[in-house]
Amino acid sequence: MLFMLVFIAILAIGYLLYSKVVERAFLPFRDPTPAIRLNDGMDYVPMSRWRDQLIQLLNIAGTGPIFGALMGAKWGPIVFLWIVIGSIIGGAVHDYFTGMMSVRHDGQSASWLIGHYLGGWLRYPILIFLVFFLVMVSATMARSAGDLLTALTGLPVIFWIGVILIYFLASAVLPINKFIGKIYPVFGVMLILMAVTVIAGLLVGGYEFPTMTLENLHPNGTEYYPDMFITVACGAISGFHATQSPMVSRCLEKEKDGRMVFYGAMIIESVIALMWATAGLAFYDGTAALADALSNGGASGVVYEIATGVAGPLGAVLTIVGVMICPITTGDTALRSARMMIQDDNSHDLKDTRKMVTITLFLMILIVFLCALDFTVLWNYFSWMNQTLACIMLWTATVFLLLTNKKYSFITFLPALFMTMTVSTFILHSNLGLQLDYNISLMIGAFITVVTAVLFVRHYFVGSIRKKTNEE
């Protein structure tokens, strides 16, 4: 328990101190924001910062900080370090820059930002990648919620997926302040209470909390790098958040609210991930039993078992409802983001209901197809695509800083390098990729990272020096 409290305190300090360093990259603030200038009553709607933050939290949380944290806990307490450090200098930075870059560009989506800063030739490849990625997220979240509801009620999963998709449709085409803006703050409070309820149940039940160790405790001996850094995505750093921050950027009343809304929401998500990783290790008393439970019952089964085992009837209901809310309130905004990206790219009127519904229904057909796949398969590919997108967005933010405030470029440059190494090594070594030898994968990943860094520095630093010299 002590270590969990210490790590939560470090996250709080990171928000109070490091986020202010990150914020300086955008000073002086520029108002009015797109929510004020482009208010259309549909996607561009000014809302208070606390409402924006709770919407952002629900958008980005999903099952990621719960399922991902539980699966990451198979490596033992070392996962706590990745959640804490990864969030402060990686995930929260990623979310803040994505949201604020969008604010500076009239609420433009992640696909536009990448194309604008990394090259126009990326416009369509990135758009296709992101739309497919968001559809996969919606399918992953719908399937995980459907599996849990099936476990609770015994009704077929296809029935629950149908109900969830009807909700997705409503959420994707109704004005953000009329639907999402009203119910998400309530759900956000429930999400936080859910994690607190589980930890309280463990304390009252006398469970032994894990003590900190850097030892790799994975039952199968799987290397913690890079696998753990891919598995625990949403609790530390997640590229999916880049697709959600622009949505909330269209609702920001003032630029100074960005630190609380974007950076702060990620810190809260990391606290939730810490609590669930702790709960998994404490409830199953180690990584071996936790791994067995995940293998036999899946992540949703583990959540159900922990909830009913430690929280009592009322707490179990709150926890289970919260775990259902998480994926549903991420899947719906993933679908909304995909709809917005397609409309933005084609300059469609965002208030054209017929086009909105047509685009949304087309995307839902793809979601239904993906829902038929096994959840584990969906999650594995989602995790790697997720972290790859985070890597791309960090490089995008680095270019933005080099063009606007070069002295702060290290803030995104260093995590961009780390994520380049991580996603490269994983796809080289993983069963999802080339399945190369681990050491060979590390060396190739390091080579790719060094080459990327050299090319980047040569282009943006040496190139700018030569240009300045020629001008003189």
* CATH number, domain containing residue 334: 1.20.1740.10
Quickly count: other Cβ atoms within 10 Å of residue 450's Cβ.
Answer: 13
pLDDT tens track of the chain, all 472 residues? Answer: 778 899 999 999 999 999 999 999 999 999 999 999 999 888 999 999 999 998 999 888 767 788 889 999 999 999 999 999 999 999 999 999 999 999 999 999 999 999 999 888 888 899 998 998 898 888 877 887 787 788 778 888 889 888 998 989 888 888 888 888 888 888 878 778 888 888 988 998 889 999 999 999 999 999 999 999 998 988 899 999 999 999 999 999 999 999 999 999 999 999 999 999 999 999 999 999 999 999 888 777 888 788 888 877 776 677 667 667 777 888 888 899 999 898 887 765 556 677 788 888 899 988 888 877 665 666 666 778 889 999 999 999 999 998 899 889 999 999 999 999 999 999 999 887 889 999 999 999 999 999 988 887 776 665 554 444 343 3
Helices and strands of the chain, counted as H and E runs:
22, 0
- Cα atoms in the 13 Å half-sphere on the side-chain side of 346: 12
CB 90 within 8 A of CB 419: yes
* Cα of 214 vs its chain's centroid, Å: 25
- Whole-model pTM: value is 0.91
The answer to whether residue 138 is domain-embedded is yes
Query: What was the pLDDT predicted at 320?
Result: 67
Q: Burial code of 118-129, b = ≥16 C-beta within 10 A, e = fewer?
A: beeebeeebbeb
* Cα of 168 vs its chain's centroid, Å: 19
Query: What was the pLDDT predicted at 242?
Result: 94
420: tokens are: 């380049």
- Residue 293's domain comprises 2-374
Q: How many domains does the chain have?
A: 1
Q: What is the DSSP letter of 315?
A: H
The answer to whether residue 400 is domain-embedded is no
Helices (H), 14-91: 19-23, 34-37, 49-61, 69-72, 78-86
The answer to whether residue 6 is domain-embedded is yes
32: tokens are: 């009015």
The answer to whether residue 254 is domain-embedded is yes
134: tokens are: 């968001």
The answer to whether residue 215 is domain-embedded is yes
Cα separation, 107 vs 130, in Å, equals 17
Phi-psi region of 175 (alpha: psi -120 to 50; beta: other; left: phi over 0): beta
What value does the CA radius of gyration of the chain take, rounded to a whole number of Å? 21
Element (H, E) at 275: helix 264-283
The answer to whether residue 252 is domain-embedded is yes
Q: Is the dihedral of CA 320, 68, 86, 1 positive or negative?
A: positive
Query: What was the pLDDT predicted at 468?
Result: 42
Phi-psi region of 213 (alpha: psi -120 to 50; beta: other; left: phi over 0): beta
Quickly count: other Cβ atoms within 10 Å of residue 413's Cβ.
Answer: 20
Cα separation, 352 vs 335, in Å, equals 17
Query: What was the pLDDT predicted at 472?
Result: 37
The answer to whether residue 446 is domain-embedded is no
CB 146 within 8 A of CB 371: yes
The answer to whether residue 74 is domain-embedded is yes
Query: What was the pLDDT predicted at 319?
Result: 67
From the list 85, 134, 207, the residue with the least C-alpha distance to 359 is 134
CB 136 within 8 A of CB 382: yes
